[in-house]
Every structure is written in C-alpha cells, then in structure tokens.
Amino acid sequence: MGTATLSKANQSWAAKLPIISHLRMSSGLQRGMLVAGLIFSALFVICAVFAPLIAPYDFAQSSDANGDFPRQAAPGGQFIWGTTASGYDVFSRTVYGAQTAILVIIAAVVMSLFIGVLLGLISGYLGGWFDRIMVVLADAIYAFPSLLLAIVMSIVISQGQSSLYGGVMAAAISITVVFIPQYFRVVRAEVMRLKAEPFVESAQVIGSSPWRVMFTHLLRNATRTLPLIFTLNATEALLTLAGLGFLGFGIEPTSASEWGYDLNRAMSDATSGIWWTGLFPGLAIVLTVLGLTLVGESMNDLNDPRLRRFSRKKAKRITQAGGKA
C-alpha cells in the first residue's frame, strides 16, 4: 500500500514538470510543434555534451598520422561533410560548435535570471523610490542593441584577442544586460499582484522579515512563467554569438569551434561553388534556433487557458466519437 502511494506521488510530481505537463496537455498541431522542438533541442544538447565521442576529429585538427587533410575537399569518404579552406573537418567543427553555443546560453541565461529575478523581487515588494528608479532603468536598457553591445564587450573583455573566454563572455554579458529587464518586469508584476494575497499578509502579521517573505513565499509563485522567457533568451544568445563570429569579433578557430565564424570564412567559398563549408554550420544555427523557438512558443500557447481548454475539448470529442463508433 505504501509503495503504491509513493509511486503515485512520484508520478504526480513528475507530471507537474514543465515539459512533461505540457506534453500531457497538448494535442494535434500543438503537440507536433512541441515534439519537433524537443527533438531539435535534444540533438543540440547531445552534440554539445558528447561532441568528443561524436566528432571523428578535434575542432582544430587539420592532419593525422597519414598527413595533412585535403583543403576544401567535397563531402564523402573520410570527410562526410567535406573540409574547409584551412583543412578542418566540417562535421567535427559543426558538432563542436554546439559546445560553444551552449556555454553562451547557460552563462547568459543564468546571469540574467539571477540578477533580473532578484531585482524584480525587491522592486515589486518594496516599491517606492527604488521601484521607480528600476522601472526607468529597465525602459532605458531596451534602447541598447544587443549585437552592438556584444561587439563593445568583445573588445573590452578580450582586448582584441578572440579567445573562447572573450567570445563567450562578450555574448553572455551583452545578453545579460539586455534581457535583465524582461525577467525584472515579469517577476515585478507577479510580486505586486501576490503581495496583496492573504498568505503574504499572514506572513507579515506573524513577524516574518521582508527577505523571508520574498524568498520563501513570493519567489516560487512569481517565477512560474520564466521557462517561456528562457527559451526565447536562449535563441537570442545563440544568434548574438553567431553574429559576433560572422562580423569577425567571435572566436578564433584554434580556440573553439563557432558557427558564426565558420559562416564568415565560408563566404569566399560560396563564390567558387564550394557550398558545404557554409551549409552545415548555417543549418546548425537554423535548426537549433527553430527547436528552441518551437518549444518556447508551444509552452506559451499551452499556458493560455483558452487554448488549453480547446485542446482538451477536442481530445474529448475525438474520444467520444471513437467510443460511439
């Protein structure tokens, strides 16, 4: 009896997880979009985590025991996606590029979440002059183009040296600065709504400190919509990193593999009919951004009560029709 109860409790807990709960609620086109997004996103994560096992060569390897790799070799044989003008294996660089991209996404989103949520909690709960100043600053930050800020940060951090650390941190910091206002506004609005609820007033009456109220009672309830913003910010971080590399402010090929830089180097190849050096890094960017966007948009749709009720009613009608048949 106890084991069965525990099993049901574990199942109910797992069913409440963001992705699993959205899969259970979805149907039809919504479920197809979510599943497609999850597949593309999973491929991206698998390539990033297992790149040394998947890629046959290192990202900066241009020779082996048999000698130097051929330059601009067409896809096939030893090099399934061909080689670049520098003799690098396109398949290996594309796979290793996922590692660099996921580093930027993690660094940017973690910093944005930490700072934006903290400021949103304090501003929404305390209000007053601090809240007014933060709202004005949040509006002002929207005027900064993220890519221009990333270029400036790249120069300041790396001092003209396009290293892995400089490229990743430049993109991460620029995304952090630009997207802090998004987390700030979402959390602030939720906190201002929740602080008038009875459970918050009860905590205040029994003498709980403002910090305890914010981090014990408000934090968990005010951050339920953040996974939706996370997916959108992840795609923006990836595109900013690719933009830096394409403009020449990215990461050198000997420091790390980066899709935007590879696209920049492939421009001259395209005029000579060499399509493979730019096609595969470009597809990697498109499919990764598409996957993350589909996940975010699907979760956003399923969080809309009107769309969720429609999906359930449609599923119920289909079930009833099947029973009558």
Kindly provide the b/e burial profile for residues 115-149, where b requires at least 16 CB atoms within 10 angstroms of the residue's own CB: bbbbbbbbbbbeeeeebeebeeebeebeeeebbeb
Domain ranges of the chain: 40-294
* H or E segment to which residue 224 belongs: none
Q: What angle do CA 20, 95, 260 make, to 5 degrees?
A: 100
* Res. 5: pLDDT tops 50: no
User: pLDDT value at position 95?
Assistant: 93
User: pLDDT value at position 280?
Assistant: 92
User: pLDDT value at position 6?
Assistant: 41
Give the pLDDT mean for 171-191.
Answer: 81
Spatial contact of 34 and 295, defined as CB atoms under 8 Å apart: yes
- DSSP per-residue codes, 15-35: HTSHHHHHHHH--THHHHHHH
* Res. 150: pLDDT tops 60: yes
Of the candidates 111, 115, 123, 108, the one whose C-alpha atom is nearest the C-alpha of residue 190 is: 123
Kindly provide the b/e burial profile for residues 45-57, where b requires at least 16 CB atoms within 10 angstroms of the residue's own CB: eebbeebeeebeb
* Res. 317: pLDDT tops 70: no
Give the pLDDT mean for 45-69.
Answer: 88
Instruction: Collect all residues with Cβ–Cβ distance below 8 Å to 251 and sequence separation of at least 6.
Output: 100, 162, 163, 164, 166, 167, 168, 245, 258, 261
* Res. 285: pLDDT tops 90: yes
pLDDT band at 283 (very low <50, low <70, confident <90, very high): very high
Q: In 26-69, where does DSSP find H-type helix?
A: 29-49, 51-54
Lowest mean pLDDT among 179-188, 195-204, 311-320: 311-320
* Res. 138: pLDDT tops 90: no
Tokens of 59: 């990202």
**pLDDT, mean over the chain:** 77
Give the pLDDT mean for 136-156.
Answer: 79
User: pLDDT value at position 155?
Assistant: 76
Quick: pLDDT tens for 83-136: 888 889 999 999 999 998 998 888 888 888 888 888 888 888 887 888 888 888
How far apart CA 250 and CA 262 sit, in angstroms, is: 10
User: pLDDT value at position 311?
Assistant: 47
Spatial contact of 153 and 170, defined as CB atoms under 8 Å apart: yes
3-state helix, strand, coil in the chain (%, to 5): 75, 0, 25
* Res. 11: pLDDT tops 90: no
How far apart CA 267 and CA 248 sit, in angstroms, is: 12
Spatial contact of 252 and 265, defined as CB atoms under 8 Å apart: no
pLDDT band at 54 (very low <50, low <70, confident <90, very high): very high
Question: What's the CATH class of domain 40-294?
Answer: mainly alpha
Give the pLDDT mean for 41-58.
Answer: 91
User: pLDDT value at position 302?
Assistant: 64
pLDDT band at 15 (very low <50, low <70, confident <90, very high): low
Of the candidates 144, 147, 93, the one whose C-alpha atom is nearest the C-alpha of residue 258 is: 93
Instruction: Collect all residues with Cβ–Cβ distance below 8 Å to 82 and sequence separation of at least 6.
Output: 72, 73, 74, 75, 76, 90, 274, 276, 277
Of the candidates 100, 13, 116, the one whose C-alpha atom is nearest the C-alpha of residue 59 is: 100
198 versus 244: the higher-pLDDT residue is 244
Give the pLDDT mean for 158-164.
Answer: 65
* Res. 149: pLDDT tops 70: yes
* Res. 246: pLDDT tops 90: no
User: pLDDT value at position 86?
Assistant: 85
User: pLDDT value at position 44?
Assistant: 92
pLDDT band at 274 (very low <50, low <70, confident <90, very high): confident
User: pLDDT value at position 1?
Assistant: 46
Residues in the chain: 325
User: pLDDT value at position 284?
Assistant: 93
Tokens of 199: 């459970």
